[in-house]
Structure 1
């Protein structure tokens, strides 16, 4: 049961991604053809490959990570804190810094990673981008040979499903029904690429990513029956 998990052993996280280039025309011809082939069933006849390219960030083969935000609980003298920090800038630096955090502080058997829809998106996306960039996958993301019960990943979407695998509940909806402040009060995922490429406001993306990470932790607390974090307990590093 999740109520028995030590909160200090969980690293909560969220990632923000964008298309690897600002414009479809910036891709070479081979990559353009591969994009058209990869997305033909999703876009059908409604969009051309070029007009559909603004969604390229959701595929690790055609996107890149621009921010990884993480958060973890700490307890001392009967005080609870949730510390949040972010990795951003060059993608290789983001991935290496995140890997260093896992290897130095979250590499024991007791440690777990937690994200919303993390098993379908965040965790495999990070692993794929590491392979693409020639970075060795850290232990916590390397699932080769692991049995299902050995995978050190928690997913608040999966926990909310309660076995109903056809159900999908967005982070925005889940925070709403659970009475948690929405992390989508400024931008949402569909706007990240525009904010990154057109407005060049990385700090805005970082704030958004950190809010999502806090929201994941809040959802986990609600699922455990614990009290939600208040603003005084959240520390941005």
Structure 2
């Protein structure tokens, strides 16, 4: 089935998220209470709500997007390139720029969005944060009323599951199993919050995010039994 999809019609993406404020104390009193209620089942009695707040970035209600990286293939005769770009800065601008990309370049029926665990995390997180900022959902993220086969999303985790709903495989593990260079050669997701708030190094996060996008594209190539990308074919724009 994947072979029937033109690889140039796929927008590969990854997002990095952080807690909405640097510390728990910077939240309003009502938001602190809501976080305490939201997180109590995950943290149980091992952590206080304040201690557990470093993990708040995985919830769209308490987190925000630090960057969105995207990549897409361009082919010319016997050559191909994989073009990468990252949207960073204030979250609202990130979301507007990403929405503009979808509206101008990836808006047709045959266009697809692809991420690892995207259906559970990336796609709904982006959509929720857009609504928080009062932004209109682009058609590729507006799933209201769509039948499952009409949803324009690919998920490399879902593809690897082969219908096994109990199975979770991280991007790092999947690239290792498939013989793809690991994208996790600097930081990992658990360190993004510190790099964002303590180091204030968004460029380091962007590089990490782009490596994930490359890895996702490589996985799709592997599934299609096509040649993996070489470094010379990857262009950052």
TM-score by length of 1: 0.99
User: 2: CA distance between counterparts of 1:105 and 1:37?
Assistant: 41
| Deviation (angstroms), 1:90 | 0.5
* Counterpart residue number, 2:32: 32
Q: Deviations over 1:188-233 (max 9, x none)?
A: 0000000000001111000000000000000111111111000011
Q: Report the RMSD for the aligned CA atoms in angstroms.
A: 0.4
| Deviation (angstroms), 1:3 | 1.3
User: 1: CA distance between counterparts of 2:224 and 2:55?
Assistant: 35
* Counterpart residue number, 1:177: 177
* Counterpart residue number, 2:225: 225
| Deviation (angstroms), 1:78 | 1.2
Q: Deviations over 1:64-96 (max 9, x none)?
A: 001000000010021011000000000000000
* Counterpart residue number, 1:72: 72
Q: Is residue 92 of structure 1 aligned with residue 92 of structure 2? A: yes
Q: Deviations over 1:146-184 (max 9, x none)?
A: 000000000000000000110000000001111111111
- Note the residue ranges of structure 1 that are not aligned, 5 or more in a row: none
Q: Is residue 15 of structure 1 aligned with residue 45 of structure 2? A: no
Any residues of structure 2 matched to 1:145-184 within 5 Å, and which?
145-184=145-184
SS in 2 for 1:227: coil
User: 1: CA distance between counterparts of 2:198 and 2:113?
Assistant: 32
Any residues of structure 2 matched to 1:55-204 within 5 Å, and which?
55-204=55-204
* Counterpart residue number, 1:4: 4
SS in 2 for 1:205: helix
| Deviation (angstroms), 1:4 | 1.2
How many residue pairs end up in the alignment?
237
User: 2: CA distance between counterparts of 1:73 and 1:208?
Assistant: 20
Which stretch has the larger CA shift, 77-86 or 91-100?
A: 77-86
SS in 1 for 2:140: helix
- Note the residue ranges of structure 2 that are not aligned, 5 or more in a row: none
SS in 2 for 1:17: strand
Q: Return structure 1 stretches of 4+ with deviation > 3 angstroms.
A: none
User: 2: CA distance between counterparts of 1:206 and 1:131?
Assistant: 24
